[in-house]
Chain A
Amino acid sequence: MQVTEYQMDALKELVNIGVGKAAGALNQMLRAHVSLIVPHLQLLSLYELEAASRASFGVANLAAVSLEFWGPFSGNAALVFPPDSAAKLVDIVTGEDFGGLDWDELRVGALTEIGNIVLNGVMGSIGNILKQHIDYSLPRYTEDTITRLMTRANTSAEATILLAQTHFAIAEYQIEGDIVLLFEVGAFDTLLTAIENFRPGQ
């Protein structure tokens, strides 16, 4: 898959807009200033992703929230929480008033909503430029290896995966960490075409 520098920049911009919206939603929910930045994007094959993720996370199970979508192009978006980041985020979301609730359940609920917010931000900005109706599944929380998380039953070996390493920081709590945004997109060309027509700021 050949992607031009402009396409890459545009794609990055698109993701950052979506992430920015998500940050706003998180701000409101947490009543704290959350900053989310995507410093760089990578396009990887499934094989490359596997190698990269093994280097970063080993074979540990990771928590992730995934969202499938269908329409002009279909695919799977996922937000992966490395264990360290997951713990910090859950702490922030639940605050101190989690009372007698079961911690595991609370953790799943918190991570699901964070995933829902971030993925919706990014998918929303992509949907905007496509200007076409997209169908979504309900977000799904899973814990699995990163490869399995990204692989649907019908994922082809040639599928392109967009990996956005996303850095978050919450100044008030002096917390920062990384989450990983992944897009496995079936008809990536459709997205690229849409990007060609997209002019930020227009």
Chain B
Amino acid sequence: MDFAWAAVKFEALDYLPVGAFVLNPGFEVCFWNRCMEAWTGVARAAIIGRPVFEVFPRLNQPSYLTRLRPLFEGGPPVLFSSQLHPHLIPAVSPTGASLVHDVSVMAVPGCDPAGYCALFSLQDVTGMMQRIQDYRKMRDQAMQEIVERERAQEALRQSELLNRAIIEHSPVGITVRDREGRLRLSNPAWRTIWGATDADIAQMERAGQDKSVAQRFTYLQDWAPQVRELFTTGGAVQIPELEVREFRSEAAAWISQHVYALPGRDGAVEMVVTLTLDITERKQWEQTLLQRNEELARINQLVQRLSARLDLEEIITQLLDTVTALLNAEAAAVWLTNPTQQETLVCPTFFQRGRSRDCEDLRLLPGQGLMGWVVQTGESLNLDNAAADPRFMPVIATAEIQVTTLLAIPLRVQGQVIGALEVVNKLAGAFSEADRVLLETLAAPAAVAVDNAHLVERLRRQTTELQSRNEELDAFAHTVAHDIKTPLNLIIGYAELLLEDGYTTMPEAQVREFLAAIMHGGYKVNTIINELMLLSQVRLKEVPRVALEMGAIIAEAVQRLQPLIEQAGAEVTLPAAWPIALGHAPWVEEAWVNYISNALKYGGAPPRIELGAEVAAAEIRFWVRDNGQGFTAAQQAQLFAPFAQLEQGRGKGHGLGLSIVRRIAERLGGAVGVTSAVGQGSTFWFTLPKGT
């Protein structure tokens, strides 16, 4: 078939930059333009007149044919989107890249034979697609950027919110000033530190024009030049601490400041930021700490001094001195439980205005007064007006001290209350809780020192006692040995005489005399042993103390001594009646026997002996008076020393007697003694507790 007509009719399509070809109703290619040749590589001569399916079989599908057929009857145009049919007619660019087309097909009337042909036009949308995709990418990127920018703006907004919140709530005072020194920003902490009002701030925001920088920073004192310089040269200044006054209240305060300049874009100082920290409290703490250190040093000193001393009075004086000085008080005193009468409190000394005063062992009964209460309850006291307290009992001379404030604490050693420490009249104000703690800190080592002193004293006493007991034992051994030796020698001597001279040849009277002397010696030894046994009994035995019938006891004693009385021709005078004392009858009888027999032996010749009693507050003094030659003071001091035998010429007796009396009296809660003068006779006495 000849398609020359088509070449003529569609010639113009050769000059278009679109692919164009024409099919007749038999789907034969009537026209194939140059652009198609270029895109498909199919030459016009190779395709014209052939069914298009031979070259492009893809087109031969019902879905295409159904849509294309109406065109040959003049139907409306048909579109094949590049998106859905990208390679309907496969084509490549001169560079070899696959081309994408939008294909539109239109019915063209007036073809040969008369009728409709289908004109395919292929528009290359590869570039457009690319651009669209590029555009999409750009748009997506732009969208992404917008989202990111929004996110960044949100983050910035949040960070600004955060910054603002931090600045608003920061405990550090923050200000920002411009390079002229005008206040641009200040936070609540800063306003609080300075006690600044809104009016102050408004003033500072205006400042700069009418006030020189020099004036504004006077509060900085020595630091001012450095800070002023910072406003022009930049940099930072760190002010560790500074004493200042608040704007309004003029109250003293301590601050620490860090001032630094922020440079602007031009490098010059744009803003100056000041961070202000209120360190008033820290400074106060520092001062308190210093004071505490001083106190500790004094406590330390006291402890050292106390531990170096064992003398109770010295310890107490040291303690009271330190306490009054540290607590800034007028006076202080220590009360200690009496070691012998457990519940009574004794005040050995008190301390007033820097000096110690002996208060002659003031006493408080258990629970009496404020100190009695402290010792009894083990609790401390802090009173603003002690004199008004119902427990108060003015013991220490009230004329010298008008007690107002009082701080008292118990003194404890190993949990045991051994006394109380009181401090009165703080020189300024009242005693604080800190004072109490301080006092307790001081009291603890003092209590130990007091206790140690007590202990040492006890040891000292015990040592003395042991020493005297040792001496006593030595003397005892010596005396007993001596006393027993004399009668024994006598016995041995007589016994020897009897054996040597031959008792059978001796006159009977002489033998009797010798035997009587031996017996007498035996009795003497026996008496000494009996007395030794009594002495040991008195030392060891616990006896009940009962009311004594002294008349009967003395009658018994006199009865026992009757042979001696008669032998010495002595005169014994007794009172009509005896007061009632407490004691143990056999021992008391023994005491009387000793005193009376001594009076018989050492009294005058003949002895005149008088017995009597005197009643005192709590005790009764019983006495035996003789008309002997009396004793010197030195001799009196020796009389009751254990087993001392006085060289009195007459040399009778064995020396155990007075020791026994002393022991008996002491064991029964009394004492012994003698009043005498040379040539005046002697009065030996012993006391016993009063009976009821």
Residues in A lying within 8 Å of B, measured CB to CB: 24-25, 28-29, 67, 69, 93-94, 101-102, 104-106, 108-110, 112-113, 116-117, 119-120, 123-124, 127-128, 133-134, 136-139
Q: Roughly how many angstroms separate A117 CA and B75 CA in the complex, as a whole number?
A: 11
Closest Cβ of chain A to B611, distance in Å, is 144
* B77 touching A102, Cβ below 8 Å: no
Contacting A106 at CB < 8 Å: which of B83, B104, B106?
Answer: B83
* B81 touching A110, Cβ below 8 Å: yes
Would you list 15 pairs from A and B whose C-beta atoms are within 8 A, ordered by A residue? Answer: A25-B67, A94-B84, A105-B132, A106-B84, A108-B83, A109-B83, A109-B84, A110-B83, A120-B70, A120-B76, A120-B77, A124-B75, A138-B77, A138-B79, A138-B106
* A119 touching B83, Cβ below 8 Å: no
Q: Roughly how many angstroms separate A40 CA and B106 CA in the complex, as a whole number?
A: 31
Contacting A28 at CB < 8 Å: which of B66, B70, B78, B83?
Answer: B66
Q: Which residues of A contact B83 (CB under 8 A)?
A: 101, 105-106, 108-110
* B66 touching A24, Cβ below 8 Å: yes
| Known pairs A29-B63, A110-B84; A120 contacts B78 (CB<8 A) | yes
* B132 touching A109, Cβ below 8 Å: no
Closest Cβ of chain A to B590, distance in Å, is 137
* A123 touching B76, Cβ below 8 Å: yes
| Known pairs A105-B129, A105-B132, A133-B109; A124 contacts B80 (CB<8 A) | no
Q: Which residues of A contact B240 (CB under 8 A)?
A: none
Q: Roughly how many angstroms separate A120 CA and B238 CA in the complex, as a whole number?
A: 87
**B104 nearest in chain A by CB position:** A138
B100-117: contact bitstring with A at CB < 8 Å (1 yes, 0 no)?
000010100100000000
Q: Which residues of B contact A102 (CB under 8 A)?
A: 132-133, 136
Taking A28-B62, A29-B63 as given, write out 5 further A-B residue pairs in contact, using a Cβ cutoff of 8 Å, ordered by the A residue number: A24-B66, A67-B76, A69-B76, A120-B78, A128-B73
Q: Roughly how many angstroms separate A127 CA and B72 CA in the complex, as a whole number?
A: 13
Q: Roughly how many angstroms separate A29 CA and B85 CA in the complex, as a whole number?
A: 11
* A112 touching B75, Cβ below 8 Å: no
Q: Which residues of B contact A25 (CB under 8 A)?
A: 63, 66-67
* A109 touching B81, Cβ below 8 Å: yes
Q: Which residues of A contact B75 (CB under 8 A)?
A: 120, 123-124, 127
* A133 touching B80, Cβ below 8 Å: no
* A127 touching B74, Cβ below 8 Å: yes
* B77 touching A136, Cβ below 8 Å: yes
Q: Judge if B82 is at the interface, Cβ distance under 8 Å.
A: yes
**B67 nearest in chain A by CB position:** A25
Q: Roughly how many angstroms separate A109 CA and B82 CA in the complex, as a whole number?
A: 7
Q: Which of B83, B109, B136 has the most CB of A within 10 A?
A: B83
Contacting B79 at CB < 8 Å: which of A104, A116, A128?
Answer: A116
Closest Cβ of chain B to A131, distance in Å, is 10
* B79 touching A112, Cβ below 8 Å: yes
Closest Cβ of chain A to B474, distance in Å, is 129
Closest Cβ of chain A to B332, distance in Å, is 98
Q: Which of A24, A69, A104, A113 has the most CB of B within 10 A?
A: A113
Q: Which of B63, B82, B136 has the most CB of A within 10 A?
A: B63
Q: Which residues of B contact A133 (CB under 8 A)?
A: 74, 109
Q: Which residues of B contact A28 (CB under 8 A)?
A: 61-63, 66
For chain B, residues 116 to 141, give those with C-beta under 8 angstroms from any C-beta of chain A: 129, 132-133, 136
For chain B, residues 38 to 72, give those with C-beta under 8 angstroms from any C-beta of chain A: 61-63, 66-67, 70
| Known pairs A120-B67, A127-B74; A113 contacts B79 (CB<8 A) | yes
Q: Roughly how many angstroms separate A24 CA and B132 CA in the complex, as a whole number?
A: 33
* A139 touching B77, Cβ below 8 Å: yes
* A113 touching B80, Cβ below 8 Å: yes
Interface size class of B (residues with CB under 8 A): 20 to 34
Closest Cβ of chain A to B167, distance in Å, is 49
The 6 closest A-B pairs by CB, nearest first: A109-B81, A109-B83, A28-B63, A136-B76, A29-B63, A116-B79
Q: Roughly how many angstroms separate A105 CA and B75 CA in the complex, as a whole number?
A: 26
Q: Roughly how many angstroms separate A25 CA and B80 CA in the complex, as a whole number?
A: 13
Closest Cβ of chain A to B208, distance in Å, is 60
* A124 touching B76, Cβ below 8 Å: yes
Q: Which residues of B contact A112 (CB under 8 A)?
A: 79, 81
Q: Which residues of A contact B74 (CB under 8 A)?
A: 127, 133-134
For chain B, residues 582 to 599, give those with C-beta under 8 angstroms from any C-beta of chain A: none
Closest Cβ of chain A to B68, distance in Å, is 10
**B75 nearest in chain A by CB position:** A124
Q: Which residues of A contact B79 (CB under 8 A)?
A: 112-113, 116, 138-139
Q: Which residues of A contact B78 (CB under 8 A)?
A: 116, 120
Closest Cβ of chain A to B105, distance in Å, is 10
For chain B, residues 83 to 104, give those with C-beta under 8 angstroms from any C-beta of chain A: 83-84, 104
Q: Which residues of B contact A105 (CB under 8 A)?
A: 83, 129, 132
Q: Which residues of B contact A123 (CB under 8 A)?
A: 75-76
Q: Which residues of A contact B81 (CB under 8 A)?
A: 108-110, 112-113
B19-33: contact bitstring with A at CB < 8 Å (1 yes, 0 no)?
000000000000000
Q: Which residues of B contact A137 (CB under 8 A)?
A: 77
**B137 nearest in chain A by CB position:** A102
Contacting B70 at CB < 8 Å: which of A106, A110, A124?
Answer: A124
**B66 nearest in chain A by CB position:** A25
Q: Roughly how many angstroms separate A139 CA and B80 CA in the complex, as a whole number?
A: 11
Closest Cβ of chain B to A62, distance in Å, is 19
Q: Which residues of A contact B104 (CB under 8 A)?
A: 138
Q: Roughly how many angstroms separate A117 CA and B70 CA in the complex, as a whole number?
A: 11
Closest Cβ of chain B to A73, distance in Å, is 14
Q: Roughly how many angstroms separate A81 CA and B78 CA in the complex, as a whole number?
A: 19
Q: Roughly how many angstroms separate A138 CA and B78 CA in the complex, as a whole number?
A: 8
**A115 nearest in chain B by CB position:** B79
**B65 nearest in chain A by CB position:** A28
Q: Roughly how many angstroms separate A123 CA and B78 CA in the complex, as a whole number?
A: 12
Q: Which of A94, A105, A110 has the most CB of B within 10 A?
A: A105
Q: Roughly how many angstroms separate A138 CA and B82 CA in the complex, as a whole number?
A: 15
**B82 nearest in chain A by CB position:** A109
Closest Cβ of chain A to B188, distance in Å, is 53
**A105 nearest in chain B by CB position:** B83
Q: Which residues of A contact B73 (CB under 8 A)?
A: 124, 127-128
For chain B, residues 307 to 356, give those with C-beta under 8 angstroms from any C-beta of chain A: none
Q: Which of B73, B78, B136 has the most CB of A within 10 A?
A: B78
**B110 nearest in chain A by CB position:** A133
Q: Which residues of B contact A139 (CB under 8 A)?
A: 76-77, 79
Q: Roughly how many angstroms separate A113 CA and B83 CA in the complex, as a whole number?
A: 10
Q: Roughly how many angstroms separate A124 CA and B79 CA in the complex, as a whole number?
A: 15
* A119 touching B66, Cβ below 8 Å: no
Q: Which residues of A contact B77 (CB under 8 A)?
A: 67, 116, 120, 136-139
Closest Cβ of chain B to A113, distance in Å, is 5
Q: Roughly how many angstroms separate A139 CA and B102 CA in the complex, as a whole number?
A: 13
* B84 touching A113, Cβ below 8 Å: yes
Q: Which residues of B contact A104 (CB under 8 A)?
A: 136
Q: Which residues of A contact B63 (CB under 8 A)?
A: 25, 28-29
**B63 nearest in chain A by CB position:** A28
Q: Which of B63, B67, B75, B82 has the most CB of A within 10 A?
A: B67
**A65 nearest in chain B by CB position:** B79
Closest Cβ of chain B to A201, distance in Å, is 20
Closest Cβ of chain A to B75, distance in Å, is 5
Q: Which residues of A contact B132 (CB under 8 A)?
A: 102, 105
Closest Cβ of chain A to B119, distance in Å, is 12
Q: Which residues of A contact B133 (CB under 8 A)?
A: 102
Q: Roughly how many angstroms separate A113 CA and B80 CA in the complex, as a whole number?
A: 7
Closest Cβ of chain B to A167, distance in Å, is 22
Q: Roughly how many angstroms separate A101 CA and B136 CA in the complex, as a whole number?
A: 11
